[in-house]
Amino acid sequence: MFRAVFLLCEGGTGLEDSRAESSELHTAMASLLRKFRTRSLSKGELAILAFFIAQALDAAFTYWGVALHGRDIEGNPLLASLMFSIGEGPALASAKLAAAGCGMILHLTNVHRIVAVLTAFYVCAALLPWMWVFTSVPH
């Protein structure tokens, strides 16, 4: 997708490359869905899938926690600051999309163990504390 932008700078229109990449992306997504249905995902694919699920759950729990308890409940000072600046939804969306993008870069460079470790870290440092907040802190 990014090559189309660079082609435009080099004198091309960028359209000729974006159609080919769109087809490649469609083929890659179809292949991944086929693997998921037949349960033949590799360990790396399972790691990135678990990472994406952890990110989505963290976003949902964070949004829920902030809605119940206010912005001050957020433990990440960078995310809390971003929430005060642009709002909860946009802050969470941008943070989680950035995290997912970084996770995908790690996946595409075949460092799946790091993706798996980051997933475990998110479960321990983000999801479990939110579960504790929801069950222990009165609202």
63 and 112 share a domain? yes
Instruction: Kindly state whether residues 36 and 55 are assigned to the same domain.
Output: no
3-state secondary structure of 132: helix
pLDDT of residue 9: 43
Residues 70 and 22 in one domain: no
Among residues 2, 124, 135, the alpha carbon closest in space to that of 57 is found at 124
Tell whether 86 and 134 lie within a shared domain. yes
Structure letter (DSSP) for residue 123: I
Is the same domain home to 95 and 33?
Answer: no
Domain count, the chain: 2
Residue 82 CB partners (closer than 8 Å, separation 6+): 91, 94, 95
pLDDT digits (tens, 9 = 90+) for 39-98: 778 889 899 999 999 999 999 999 999 999 888 889 899 999 999 999 999 999 999 999
Q: Cα–Cα distance between 76 and 131 in angstroms, integer?
A: 16
> Do 46 and 102 share a structural domain?
yes
One domain for residues 54 and 93: yes
Q: Is residue 133's pLDDT more than 80? A: yes
CA distance 107 to 96: 16
Tell me phi and psi for residue 46, to 5 degrees. -65, -40
Looking at the structure, do residues 22 and 81 belong to the same domain, yes or no?
no
- How would DSSP label each residue in 61-88? HHHHHHHHH-GGG---HHHHHHHHHH-H
Burial 15-44 (b: 16+ CB within 10 A, else e): eebeeeeeeeeeeeeeeeeeeeeeeeeeeb
Same domain, 33 and 93: no
Predicted confidence at residue 19, as pLDDT, reads 56
Give yes or no: residues 45 and 7 share one domain. no
Q: Are residues 18 and 54 in the same domain?
A: no
Domain co-membership, 34 together with 47:
no
Domain enclosing residue 3, as ranges: 1-40
**pLDDT at position 23:** 74
Say if CB 79 and CB 95 are below 8 A apart.
yes
